[in-house]
Structure 1
């Protein structure tokens, strides 16, 4: 029974990769220094996994920005606009330009589109395909890292290069023109995959992992045919190397028939997200297959210890069905979604910490499972004891009872939107195309230094608060000078939009070093929801009211919504997820009502994670929307008609769920549309969105500054699809990660474009 891993975190235990990448982008270090950091992280990862006695260790799971972008560079899928920049002379700068855009002198090229990786909070760079797309081996990264791993690991037999499979790679991309289907490119791409596999074989590699998460989706007939063709060809020409196909994030038993008459050596399945698929898959394996079955048993997306009793039962059932020699065990997916090492956490209550497991610990859990199967029951007994919990740390009976008393009246506003809209327009008197931002403004070194001094107790809380107030006053003046219509306080007191609230809610904790990658150099520390969640006291009211007192313009109250707090946290796994969602929602509702009572008239409840939490299979969508929309409406529905509720969503595909977004019944929704060139607006051809909306008019995840003309063009596109009276003008996300010089110029161009739109588009309509 072999033990293996699908992928390991690549940011470094102290976020070394983030710091090095940002230093390189700022011209503070050269590419050699950047590469040295990458080499050190890879070496540490390989050695750790070898010390954990894994039989197969992933290679090529490291990335400087995104593994999908790595695949595009490997296959030569590079848009022509990036090839045409004469000042880019090396692959790493070409790579970063594709991810971040390029703006220098006369060169101004936008970043490629970015979206969520399936239903996770990881973002990937979307490949772009032409009808006559050519594929080639463009980058040597996979081969260079293979040579590195040979020097580090004691046996080449342990090395397992990882690639995104050809069908999933095409699925993740987009057609630049509508005259073809991306799956039509399967015959063009497969010969390159075969070349890569053969080259790896010639280097002495015995196992290759091809990730095909498309297998857990509702595959179309065209995708199924592409899959059969792809692996029919790979089986034919690469029969002398072991291919493992990895599926994850859900069950794939519905697509098991695709493996009939296919000579793939191993299949990996996710038994964390769908344990019920095992019976059907074992039946297939025992009847028709000689493949090895890899059991994904360790949760690679959450921080709780594995329940050994449950996992051992699955292993023993599989052994009984198909034999131990045909079984592998592994985490269910790559471990990039969890922090690296729990031992770096020193402030978590021991009763909670004893139940937690980060990436390093999860690797060692595989050894424990093997030992238990061999007969070591002491490990099983210790695990069961640690997982027992009855403490008041985890449970609050009053909170549980409150959730049983939620009524229909608690989840609906007093009146229909069109009545609320009239009242709000009469009250606020905003111009057409009102301008605002999403919430956060740049978190400078000075702010981070203040926070660090507060943490080290080198600065008192009172002194810290006064300095934060100075930043708030300054950002209000900047917004007034730019002439934004609805202002925000900048969120300088907040480290992260979820972590901030976790520190102020009962039943949630923040880690000290629990970093995970969100995209590129952007790392987040997801809070840990370990018990019943409740609001202790006001969380934002003092800051928002202070900001409102410093301006005559409208000030938005800024909150994070219940679904996003849930999705961007590591959630307790001992009760239905919707129970936890409703608890968070009620806590946010109490804060909304407190803001309203304090005179705040516009309140934004951000839900950027609503789409990413959507189950991958459509058959499960209804139950998800039932509880997630209810949770949002619990948080937002207690206010008066005149109080305007905003929400925000970003970097996901929304076209197929717009009717559900409308069910949120937010007065105003702001969304990402700039990177996708307003593709979102196509949804309005088939669905008439009833409320107000701000389709983001510039991409904040790129350092480039949008021009007045391009912003006006996006506003014009929006006005062709939406009633002008319902359109807001805003960036597509918060501005925390940007620099002030970028922000001020971009927002100035945005407000100027809005003013032009008020003249040109209103008069012409």
Structure 2
């Protein structure tokens, strides 16, 4: 019985890669220094896994930015607009890579970044491959070979990990009409075969091809593509052992497709698709074959200690049918989605020993995999490791820290009218037009402004005791007033206070809500160098006191213009936290919704007339299978409405969403009944607006006119062009002008330049519309 791992966190336990990458982008370190940091992290990761007793250790799970972008580089899927950057220089590949991820703007060269979207239903983002009809692929980057060789030099024969060819195509987007991206498979496979042959020749015994596409709804054509791909790979590579990894869900109707693949092992996720195991064990063809079955029993996407009883029951059932030699034990998915190491959490006032004893981060999950594998070979119920594990599981189940009867009672007493605004949107819009007196094409930003080193240092000094609370708050007020004056001078219509007092849009709220706990070093990669430190929801949630009212009221008192109150919505707080798994997610969402509702009502009482409740994760939380969508969307929309519906008609409720495909859920977006929705559309050149136009979306909408995830500054003409495209599908009275996301991660010079261009674009649009109406 082999133990193995699907992937490991790659930014470093102290975010070393993030820091080195950002220094490289800023020109403070060179390529060799960046690669030295990357190599050190890889070596540490391999040693950690080796010391944990993992039998098959992955390589090529590391990435300088994104594993899908790595695959595009491997197969030469480089969009034509980047060809001008390929000039044969020694550092060309790295700078080309980052240009594809972040855009490139220098001298007379201005190239946009590739589109970014969520990796299945996680909060990780990937760079969307771009495909054209009859596209040719060719080997370009040899990263996978170099990292395999690097591990060999450390004495470790790794299991290289690649995104499977079919899932890679499914993740991409056709950039021209008239063809199906899956038809590119025969063009793509020769590159995969070439890479895999080279790995085999260098000593690779196992390779892992990630095919999470197998847990999606697939057409018959796509299912046949899986069969064809792996038949061709097997024919070309008869001796290389191939493990196909599925994760994030159950195989369901794709089970026969997956079990029939010409591979040596199949990995299944039993934390999100436990029903797959009995189905496979009843599959006579699979059972009679020699294929191994990899059981993903340790949750790669949460932080709770594994219940050994449950995992060992799975393994026992598999061994009874397949035999011990055909069973492998692993995490459910890559540990990319988990924090690095629970041992780094040393502050018991931040994370108490009782709650810490319920948890396992990536390093601890490796030990769980090894320990479960070892226990499965024994009479495990009497082993100390099993007894200790069950004691921890039971202590969490019965802890008085978790359950608050009055919170449960309030949630149980929710009635239908708690989800409804007083009047319909047309009635509210008329009232808001009169009360708020906003111009045509009102401008705003999404909420946050750049968090400079000085601002971050203020929070650090407060935590260290270098600053008193009063001194800290005085400095934050100075930042707020400065940002208000700057916005007023620029001509923005609805201002924001800048969120200088906030660390992360979810962590900040979690720190003020009961039922949450936090980590010192629980960082998880969101995209590139962007890392988040998700709160941990361990118990019932409520709001002990107001969270944002003081700062919003201060900002509004210091400007004659409208200043938005800024909140994070219940579904996003849920999605971007590590969530308790002892009750339905709906119940936790409604508890958070009630807490946010209390804050919304208090903001209104404090004189805040525009309140934004961000829900960028609504689409992200959508189940991967369509048959499960209705149940999720019903409670997710209700959770938002619960948070927003306690105010008067004249209070304008905004929400914000980013990097999502809305076509299939546009009716649910409309059902949220936000007065204004702001969304990301710039990277897709307003393509997302087609969904709103076809649906005849009734409420107001602010399609983002520039991409804040790239440092490039778009021109005024570029933004006018996008706004004119938007105006073709959105009524003028319903169109807002804004960036596509918050500006926290950007620098002030590029922010100032981009927003100045944005306001110029809004003014030009107003002038042109007025001119048309008058003549």
Q: Within 5 Å, which residues of 2 pair with 1:276-295?
A: 276-284=275-283, 287-295=287-295
Aligned to 2:162: 163
1:652 Cα deviation after fit: 1.4
Contact 1:47 1:153 in 2 (8 A): no
- Taking a change above 3 Å as real, the CA distance of residues 174 and 520 of structure 1, as seen in their structure-2 partners, is same
Q: Distance in 1 between matches of 2:429 and 2:624?
A: 35
Q: Distance in 2 between matches of 1:609 and 1:313?
A: 34
1:681 Cα deviation after fit: 1.4
1:407-449 deviation digits (Å, cap 9, x = unpaired):
0010010110000000000001111110000000000010111
The SS at the match of 1:195 is helix
Contact 1:46 1:153 in 2 (8 A): no
Q: Distance in 2 between matches of 1:254 and 1:290?
A: 22
Does 1:351 pair with 2:354? yes
Query: Which moved further from structure 2: 36-45 or 194-203?
Result: 194-203
For structure 1, the 5+ residue unaligned runs are none
The SS at the match of 1:118 is coil
For structure 2, the 5+ residue unaligned runs are none
1:723 Cα deviation after fit: 0.8
Aligned to 1:114: 116
Aligned to 2:131: 129
Does 1:741 pair with 2:749? yes
Aligned to 1:319: 319
Q: Within 5 Å, which residues of 2 pair with 1:233-248?
A: 233-248=232-247
Aligned to 2:230: 231
Contact 1:558 1:603 in 2 (8 A): yes
Q: Distance in 2 between matches of 1:59 and 1:404?
A: 49
Q: TM-score, normalised by structure 1?
A: 0.98
Aligned to 2:64: 64
1:525-570 deviation digits (Å, cap 9, x = unpaired):
0000000000010100000000001110000000000000000000
The SS at the match of 1:392 is coil
The SS at the match of 1:686 is helix
Aligned to 1:382: 388
Give the RMSD, CA atoms, in angstroms: 1.1
Does 1:79 pair with 2:82? no
1:87 Cα deviation after fit: 6.8
Q: Distance in 1 between matches of 2:16 and 2:555?
A: 36
Aligned to 2:670: 662
Aligned to 1:589: 597
Q: 2:537 aligns with which of 529, 539, 562?
A: 529
Contact 2:2 2:373 in 1 (8 A): no
Q: 1:364 aligns with which of 367, 382, 389?
A: 367
Contact 2:260 2:286 in 1 (8 A): no
Query: Which moved further from structure 2: 347-356 or 727-736?
Result: 347-356
- Taking a change above 3 Å as real, the CA distance of residues 139 and 310 of structure 1, as seen in their structure-2 partners, is same
Aligned to 2:269: 270
- Taking a change above 3 Å as real, the CA distance of residues 262 and 568 of structure 1, as seen in their structure-2 partners, is closer
Q: Within 5 Å, which residues of 2 pair with 1:198-597?
A: 198-259=197-258, 262-284=261-283, 287-347=287-347, 348-373=351-376, 374-376=378-380, 377-388=383-394, 389=396, 390-597=398-605
Q: Distance in 2 between matches of 1:501 and 1:346?
A: 23
Q: 1:604 aligns with which of 602, 605, 612?
A: 612
- Taking a change above 3 Å as real, the CA distance of residues 340 and 86 of structure 1, as seen in their structure-2 partners, is closer
1:287 Cα deviation after fit: 4.3
Query: Which moved further from structure 2: 563-572 or 215-224?
Result: 215-224
Aligned to 2:684: 676
1:237 Cα deviation after fit: 1.2
Aligned to 1:98: 100
Contact 1:286 1:322 in 2 (8 A): no
Q: Distance in 2 between matches of 1:120 and 1:153?
A: 34
Q: Within 5 Å, which residues of 2 pair with 1:25-40?
A: 25-40=25-40
Q: TM-score, normalised by structure 2?
A: 0.97
Contact 1:253 1:281 in 2 (8 A): no
The SS at the match of 1:571 is coil
Contact 2:259 2:286 in 1 (8 A): no
Q: Distance in 2 between matches of 1:614 and 1:517?
A: 20
1:481 Cα deviation after fit: 1.1
Q: Distance in 1 between matches of 2:772 and 2:315?
A: 69
Count of residues paired in the alignment: 762
1:115-146 deviation digits (Å, cap 9, x = unpaired):
00000000000111111211111011111111
